[in-house]
Each structure stands twice: as structure tokens, then as C-alpha cells.
Amino acid sequence: MTTVHERVDTFHDNDQKPVGYGRMLRKEDPRFLRGRGRYVDDVQLPGMLHLAILRSPVAHARIVSIDTSAAEASPGVKAVVTGAMLAQQNLAWMPTLSNDVQAVLATDKVRFQGQEVAFVVAEDRYAARDALELIDVEYDVLDPVIDARRALESDAPLIRDDLDGKTNNHCFDWETGDEAATEAVFARADVVVSQDLVYPRVHPAPMETCGAVADYDAVDGKLRLWSTTQAPHAHRTLYAIVAGLPEHKIQVISPDIGGGFGNKVPIYPGYVCAIVASIVTGKPVKWMEDRSENLISTGFARDYIMRGEIAATRDGRILGIRTNVLADHGAFNGTAAPVKYPAGFFGVFTGSYDIEAAYCKMTAVYTNKAPGGVAYACSFRITEAVYLVERIVDCLADELGMDPAELRLKNFIQPEQFPYTTKTGWVYDSGNYEPTMRLAMEMAGYDELRREQAEKRARGELMGIGIAFFTEAVGAGPRKDMDILGLGMADGCELRVHPTGKAVVRLSVQSQGQGHETTFAQIVAEEIGIPPADIEVLHGDTDNTPFGLGTYGSRSTPVSGAAAALVARKVRDKARIIASGMLEVSVADLEWERGAFHVAGDPGRSVTIQDIALRAHGAGDLPEGIEGGLEAQICYNPSNLTYPHGAYICVVDIDPGTAQVTVRRFIAVDDCGTRINPMIIEGQVHGGLTDGVGMALMEMIAFDEDGNCLGASLMDYLIPTSLEVPDWETGFTVTPSPHHPIGAKGVGESATVGSPPAIVNAVIDALKPFGVRHADMPLTPSRVWDAMRGQARPPI
């Protein structure tokens, strides 16, 4: 349920479908609602075998020996493969998305609990799984490094002895901003506040786990791979590079995907194992990991230990922000981010504020934990950045005794300052922050809430109001700056109008629930006037779609959305020329009105886009120099990122006896520029807000001191349900992006980015009577109770 601030007309399917932008039901939903979606695990091929992976039970150990003989003799088993066997083909290691390497199957050591050690291929899933228990691995257990703070101590065990010359667990250093200038503003500031913050390791935990069906045809040399990937084209190119298969002989198919959240960006060892297994056995091979495997071995998110510092004048003018980060990257650096951005887009930690100086120093380390560091609905580490700035701004408000809303309003970048270059070098394209903030405050009834809070405090009740204001950087990205392993982050798009005026648009991005089949049809419809129902959206199959980098980091609308609009304009330009021939007037005398050209000053003389399509394919001459057909293709290279923003206000109540937090209200005002389908936007926001409740209040992938993962099932790793969330109250403002063809900014991750600090700020606000200034996530009842007694401690 939701309360939409600006009441939008309710609509009925079938009658009021917009031709272009507007609220309409999702075209893909009938398939999902009727159980007719087709996911990787639904793929059944004749003679298909099943693969199961043996994983390390310990976090750090040398492999002494592996005996596979009993497993090989087990009924139904077709092959048992170890790292040593892969090494013979030079396939034991593969590159990660961050120019590191990762073991496909361990050869020398295991480096995290759950690491892939061997695999079995058998006639069915049960036989494969049973045979795993018969593989005998002898481990020589080593001390693990679990706490990132210990990783760089001189006596810490060395994790990456596979890397030549490596003598410690250092992964990389990174800095941004101006250290000296920042030092100078801190030195002259009236007030400096500093706060240690931990953003714990969390997991995307999509409903569908990762998996693949590999089908290698030895006769034509073609590999078909159905896999759970958010980036089918990038994966295909990487397989070509890793496995040495020619790229035109690889078809990656990403069918319906049951949630990604960044979890399905990397290439996992399991995919490679499935490919190897199909080549070895000559049969199609399916690998689907189970829930525990997904939680313990695939890409996590966050795991940043941060110190935030903020400098301001006594009257609340923010001068500078400084931060020091220790980043835990696990056993292999598998971060999915453009290569020049090892810390992703963390550089936007200066937030929405016009400040004088900023500086960040980051050290990243290896630990004996699962590798990754994925986008996870965080637009490349912006989640961490926004949490940092929005938490320390609240700490500053507390120090100054100022209302946190007022402090933010006082420091916003002003509308006339856009495009605004931040002190860390990001060029915010557009923004108008104050109206967004004011709308959220008005929807919340902010002053009234503060009055209620004062009354409740007087009665000993605990109520908190938390604010977060975020600016995101999404839509990676300009290819001069941004690439993943050398692949520029531009997106192709193809549009073909059929003779009867129906159309097909082919995208390089792949939906994992974002509603692309509707949104992209609407983008094309808006430009060319063909109803969305008449536009087929194809995606997810590399043989049938143009190249592009995939869906993550809220990039589909900013990048592929622009491509779709521009390709449609290209088709419209051609249609105009054909129309001029049909109407026997010059091109300049034609006026476009969505769906048809008419002669200027004579609306009666017109041809529709459908008429033109038929003409383009039909008999009779076309204007001079015009080829038949009505289609175009494009590759869009964004000139900048887009910068959505939003104002979130959260109201919590805390039971003073049990310390349980209830999120009573949540007001989310988002500005993602031009709004294509408001219903889909709201859906994205609802999902992200729910995600935020999870991270703020319950989610954490914890480890014990031996490196055992304590979040290996959904009984241990909690994700929120509808019972933990309030009725979301959403609203919006519209500040279009100036450089995006339709002014749209992307909204997939906004709510995940913005909600955790709003919720944490609300909890801390509620705990003010106890003198609490900070407590780290996850704010479970036990941890809130600690904070109430002055014993808040970091979760790691």
C-alpha cells in the first residue's frame, strides 16, 4: 500500500494505456503472476546432467590431497573435477571484474569458507549432491584473517600467496579530494565532529539463486549458456577471453531473472564449472546453487569500516568533510566497478552540500571471507558514501543543537550552482534540493511530529524522527572514464518497425524485475507514437541484441533509456522523409504530432507511423536515397552520469522495555528527473525502502573468529517482510537531467541508498534521552538495548 502525494489518476488496464509516459500496468506481469516466467532453473534440455560443487568447510587451509575415487564410483556420476585438473587446461584461475584473479577451483589453498574445491557431474541433482560427501579432502588448516583491522598487522597470516611477491594482505590504497585544503578548513573550523561508523557486510540475497545451463555443441563448436546474469554481453566477452572460445561461438542467454541487486553482475566459478563440465561430458549441464551457497560464496556488499569527520562554523555552515575507510574485500577482489574506480563512486561522500574542502583516504585489504563487493543496489558504493555523510551531518546537528532539517537546508547546493563540481571532482548535472526537502517535510508534518515527540519524551516514550537527503551518481558511464575490464560502458539499441506498424526494440541491458519490457516500450512509444502494447522489447540474449554493459548501478534508464529514445528519433527522422514523399511536400513542411506527420497548416493531410511503416516495406518508390525498411541502431555513450536526489523522513517508535524498533512512517520524496512510468518508479522505491529496513535493522553477514559464516541460511540472515515495513508514503519532484535525451535519471537504487541513514538517524534520535550519539547497524533489539545503556559497540 502506498500514499502517493500528488494523487495520480487510478487507471484500468486496457483502456487508458498511455502512448508514451504514464502509469500503466507492466507488460511482463501476466507472465510472472501466472507462473509462466522462464528462469534458468526452468531450462530442461535432452540428456542434461547436473552439477554440484564441493565447498571448503574452513576459511583458510592448505589443500594436502583430494581423493575423488569413491565419488567417481557413486551411482549416476559422470565426472568429478578438481582444481588440479582445471590447472592442466589453464582454467583453475580466472580474472575478476577488478583485475584481480579468483580461483575457479582451489588448487593450492582455500581462502574462505564456502570456496569452490571440486565439482561432480551426475545424472540428477541428488546423485551429484550425494557424491560430494564421498570426496575426501585433506586440509592443513591455517590461521584465518577475519577482522579487517588485523589484516595489515605484520604477523597476520598471508592470504594471497598466489600473487607474485605478495608479502601482506594489502589490496589497494585510494584517495580523493585535497588533503591539505581539507586540513586547513578543519584547522579554522569552530566545530569538528568525528564519528566511527561501520557499514556491515550484507548480502543481496535475491529470491533466485545463481545458476547456469551450459550446452556445448562439439560439432558446430557453439556454446549456449543460460545463466543468471545482469550483464549478458559483458559475460560473453569475458568467457571468450577466459576460456579462449571464439566470441561468435558463444551465446549467453539471460532469461527471466529472479532478482539481482548486483549479485548477478560477477562471473562466478560455478558458471565456468558448468561450461567446463559440458565440454568434458559432451552434454548440457545445469548448475543451480542452493540458498546457503548463494549466501556464503557469492558477491556481498559493503563491509566498510569508516571514520567520518565534519567541520563547520558555530552557526551551522559546513566547511569540510573528511573520511578514512578500511575496506574489506574478502579473499579475492571481485568488486564490480569501473576499473578506474576501485572504491566505486564512494567519492560522492560530500553529499548534497556546498562545502569548501573534502578528502578521503581508503585502504582495502584481503581477508578470509567470501570475495565480491558488488553493486548491490548501491550504485557502486554510493550507499556507503550517503550513509557516511548523512550520519555525520546528524552528529553535527546534535553537536550544534540544531534541527537536522534546518542544518541540511542551510547547506544545500543551490539550484543556480548546477552543473556543480564537487570537491572530489564529480559534476552534478542538475538539482533543486530545497523543494524536495520541503515537500518531504510537508508530507511528514515535520513540525507536528517534533511536537508529538516532545510530548512523548516527557512521558518517557521513545519516538525518533530521522532525515536523510541523498544525491546519487548513476548511469555509468562515459566511456572515456568508465570501463569494466576494458569494455566501455556505452549501450547499443536497435529498433525495427514491422510493415504493419508494430515494432521490436532490442536492448543490451537485462531486467531482473525492473520492468524493462514496459518502460522501454513506453520510451519508444513517447518518441514514435506506436502504443507500448505494439512494441516488443527483447533483451537478455547476446545473439539477438546489441552489445552493452548490462543492468546495475541504476544505469538502464540513464544509458539504455537514452539509447532507446535516440534510436526512436532516428527512425522518426527516416519516417519523416518517407512521409514527405507520401504527402508530396517537403520535409520542412511536416509537423509531428505523436504517431503521425501532417502538413503544416493542414492537419487533415497526414500519414500515421503505421502508414509510413507499410510504405517503407511496400511497393512503390521511396524518396531519393532512402532504403526500404524502417529501422535504426545506435550506441549511446553518456556524456556524464546523472544525479538523482531525494529527501527521506522516517519515524520510529522504540519499546523502552524490549528495545524493539518499529518503523511507524516513512516518507520518500524522490527526484529522478523525467518520470516514465510512475507505478514502476514507486515499485522500485518500495523495494529499496524495504531493503533499507533490512540493512538498518536486521541484516548482516557475520563470521565467527574461525571464519565460519553465521549467515548461511535465511533463518540466520534475516531479510525483512511486509510485516516490518509501514505503508510507504511516496512523493516526487522533477528536475530533469540536462544532458540526457529525455531528462531521466534512473531510480533503481535511490531508496536503498537513502533509507538506511534515515532509519538509523531516527533510531538515534529516539535514543537521545539516553545520550546516544551513534550506534551501528544492524539495530537489532539487543544492539539497541546496548545503546540505551551506553554500551553501543560496533558489530565487527
- Give contact residues for another protein (rule: CB under 8 A): 125-126, 129-130, 133, 288, 290-292, 657-660, 697-698, 702, 710, 713, 715-716, 718, 720-721, 723-724, 780-782, 785-786
Q: Cβ closer to another protein: 52 or 257?
A: 52
Q: Cβ closer to another protein: 132 or 493?
A: 132
Q: What is the DSSP letter of 556?
A: I
* Smallest separation (angstroms) from another protein to the CB of 465: 23
Q: How many CB atoms are located within 10 Å of the residue 343 CB?
A: 24
**Strand pairing partners for 390?**
none
Q: Cβ closer to another protein: 100 or 293?
A: 293
Contact between 429 and 638 under an 8 Å Cβ cutoff? The reply is: no
CA distance 286 to 271: 9
Report the run of H or E that residue 138 belongs to, with start and end.
Answer: strand 136-141
Contact between 497 and 503 under an 8 Å Cβ cutoff? The reply is: yes
Q: Cβ closer to another protein: 445 or 795?
A: 795
* Smallest separation (angstroms) from another protein to the CB of 212: 15
* Smallest separation (angstroms) from another protein to the CB of 41: 8
* Dihedral sign (CA 508, 612, 574, 642): negative
Is the peptide bond between 738 and the residue preceding it cis, with omega within 30 degrees of 0? no
* Smallest separation (angstroms) from another protein to the CB of 250: 27
Q: Cβ closer to another protein: 292 or 733?
A: 292
At which residue does the C-alpha cell 579462449 appear?
244
At which residue does the C-alpha cell 563491509 appear?
303
* Smallest separation (angstroms) from another protein to the CB of 698: 5
Write the single-letter amino acid at 450.
R
Cell of 431: 538539482
* Smallest separation (angstroms) from another protein to the CB of 39: 12
* Smallest separation (angstroms) from another protein to the CB of 721: 5
* Smallest separation (angstroms) from another protein to the CB of 658: 5
CA distance 20 to 7: 20
Exposed / middle / buried, residue 563 (Cβ in 10 Å: 0-12, 13-18, 19+): buried
CA distance 81 to 119: 5
Q: Cβ closer to another protein: 233 or 286?
A: 286
Q: Cβ closer to another protein: 75 or 771?
A: 75
Q: Cβ closer to another protein: 290 or 356?
A: 290
Region of 554 please: left (phi>0), alpha (psi -120 to 50) or beta: left
* Smallest separation (angstroms) from another protein to the CB of 200: 12
CA distance 303 to 508: 31
Cell of 411: 547547506
Q: Cβ closer to another protein: 544 or 662?
A: 662
* Smallest separation (angstroms) from another protein to the CB of 693: 10
CA distance 528 to 20: 9
* Smallest separation (angstroms) from another protein to the CB of 525: 40
Rg (CA), the chain: 27
Cell of 410: 542551510
Q: Cβ closer to another protein: 639 or 721?
A: 721
Please count the CA atoms within 13 angstroms of the CA of 387 that sit on its side-chain side: 31
Q: Cβ closer to another protein: 414 or 721?
A: 721
Exposed / middle / buried, residue 510 (Cβ in 10 Å: 0-12, 13-18, 19+): buried
* Smallest separation (angstroms) from another protein to the CB of 288: 7
Is residue 488 classed as helix, strand or coil in its secondary structure? strand
DSSP 619-631: SS--STTPPSSEE
Contact between 225 and 268 under an 8 Å Cβ cutoff? The reply is: no
Contact between 502 and 610 under an 8 Å Cβ cutoff? The reply is: no
* Smallest separation (angstroms) from another protein to the CB of 725: 11
CA distance 309 to 784: 24
* Smallest separation (angstroms) from another protein to the CB of 716: 6
Q: Cβ closer to another protein: 572 or 783?
A: 783
CA 243 from chain centre, in angstroms, equals 27
Report which of 654, 699, 702, 659 is spatially closest to residue 791, judged by C-alpha positions.
659
Non-local (6+) Cβ contacts of 85 within 8 A are none
Report the run of H or E that residue 118 belongs to, with start and end.
Answer: strand 116-122
Cell of 645: 536526489
Non-local (6+) Cβ contacts of 560 within 8 A are 491, 493, 507, 508, 509, 520, 548, 636
* Smallest separation (angstroms) from another protein to the CB of 128: 9
* Smallest separation (angstroms) from another protein to the CB of 313: 41
CA distance 352 to 343: 19
Exposed / middle / buried, residue 30 (Cβ in 10 Å: 0-12, 13-18, 19+): exposed
Q: Cβ closer to another protein: 168 or 660?
A: 660
CA-to-CA dists, residue 504 to 430, 517, 525, angstroms: 33, 11, 11
Q: Cβ closer to another protein: 116 or 289?
A: 289
Q: Cβ closer to another protein: 10 or 44?
A: 44
Q: Cβ closer to another protein: 130 or 328?
A: 130
Q: Cβ closer to another protein: 421 or 713?
A: 713
* Smallest separation (angstroms) from another protein to the CB of 777: 13
Q: What are phi and psi of 569, to 5 degrees?
A: -65, -35
At which residue does the C-alpha cell 551450459 appear?
214
